[in-house]
Amino acid sequence: MKILITGSSGFIGFHLSKLLLKKGNSVYGIDSMNNYYDVSLKKARLKILKKYKNFSFSKANLENSKKIENIFKKVKPKVVVHLAAQAGVRYSIDKPRVYLKSNINGTFNVIESSHKCKVFHLIMASSSSVYGANKKIPFKENDKTESQLSIYASTKKANESMAHSYSSIWNLPITMLRFFTVYGPWGRPDMALFKFTKGIINNKKIDIYNNGKMYRDFTYIDDIVKGINLLIKKPPNLKQKNKFKNDSLSPIAPFRVLNIGNTKKVYLLDFIKQIEFMLKKKAIRNYMPLQRGDVKQTLSDTKLLRKITGYKSKTDYKLGIKKFLNWYINFYH
């Protein structure tokens, strides 16, 4: 199958591309290779992907509508997985406009081109952050999502809304996947596990927000990409309405929202303790107040994804941390 992946040099895009290539698909990657974090990490991921003969790549910015349209016309993908975005909750406080350009304009261009190419299934990255200030956990797809706390989360919520309208007008099958804190080898340098590990190894203070009183549904990267792979062949279809009762399928469009997470919440201080234990070294802790825009806890309900695909996350956070540390030490030292 010919699959176009945006953000293929990013953390999730890299792992997904690799899995799909191994399974014999053709993958066409698009990435701007921007410098939000260490570009050499993106280059190293891309170098690995380029070893596969079924992999092609364009360095392109999704904000350039003409360029994106031409790539789609040339590639004629059957499936599109749209992962490129300006990610990160904290950065969105300082640089909100970057998010509007990349996540709103860029995403619009992907939806528009997917419609013009009549793709079989468009899967797009949303985020657990759209649940915002919701108190009820676990988060379910049908919970209200009206209280985003950051511009990052707002752009993801806007993406869901844009996708629904296009899906209903053009009958375009779209799944919005709400990811819950993804971590693992080749992970993002701006995320907790990477920053804690780097700080501990280099004897630098690590910032711990809300004095550590946070819970996250940490989801291991292999579970995420396996879930996406299972979903690719299952585009939403209005006839499924009765099959998957109470789901998040739109009543009027082949559009749905699905959570993808590990379904276990981990206390942040336990997470840090585990990194210390594995590195045999104590962190220098800098306890901080809750960062604006951040939520105190996340926890996914993934029953719906399981019903549709059989998805079940397998990786316990202790094993996941171990695998990350093995990669980190090997890559950086």
Ligand X SMILES: NC(=O)c1ccc[n+]([C@@H]2O[C@H](COP(=O)([O-])OP(=O)(O)OC[C@H]3O[C@@H](n4cnc5c(N)ncnc54)[C@H](O)[C@@H]3O)[C@@H](O)[C@H]2O)c1
CA pair distance 325, 184, nearest whole angstrom:
9
Q: At closest approach, how far in Å is the CB of 245 from ligand X?
A: 27
Q: At closest approach, how far in Å is the CB of 173 from ligand X?
A: 19
Triad 292, 89, 112: Cα angle to 5°: 135
Contact with ligand X (CB under 6 A) among 92, 175, 181, 229? 181
179 binding ligand X? (CB under 6 A): yes
3-class DSSP assignment, residue 123: strand
Contact with ligand X (CB under 6 A) among 86, 274, 297, 302? 86
Widest CA span in the chain: 57
200 binding ligand X? (CB under 6 A): no
Cβ distance to ligand X smaller for residue 5 or 208: 5
Strand partners, 82: 6, 124
99 touches 144 (CB < 8 A): no
Q: At closest approach, how far in Å is the CB of 158 from ligand X?
A: 13
Bond into 235 cis (ω within 30): no
Amino acid at 273: K
265 binding ligand X? (CB under 6 A): no
Cβ distance to ligand X smaller for residue 91 or 255: 91
321 binding ligand X? (CB under 6 A): no
Q: With CB under 6 A as the contact rule, which of the stretches 85-93, 113-121, 261-269, 285-293 interacts with ligand X?
A: 85-93
Q: At closest approach, how far in Å is the CB of 33 from ligand X?
A: 5
84 binding ligand X? (CB under 6 A): yes
Annotated active-site positions, please? 152
CA pair distance 86, 91, nearest whole angstrom:
9
Q: Measured between alpha carbons, how far is residue 54 from residues 18, 81, 203 in Å?
A: 11, 17, 43
10 binding ligand X? (CB under 6 A): yes
Structure tokens at 243: 């099959």
| Contact residues for ligand X, defined by CB under 6 A | 7, 9-13, 31-34, 42, 61-63, 83-87, 102, 106, 125, 127, 179, 181-182, 188
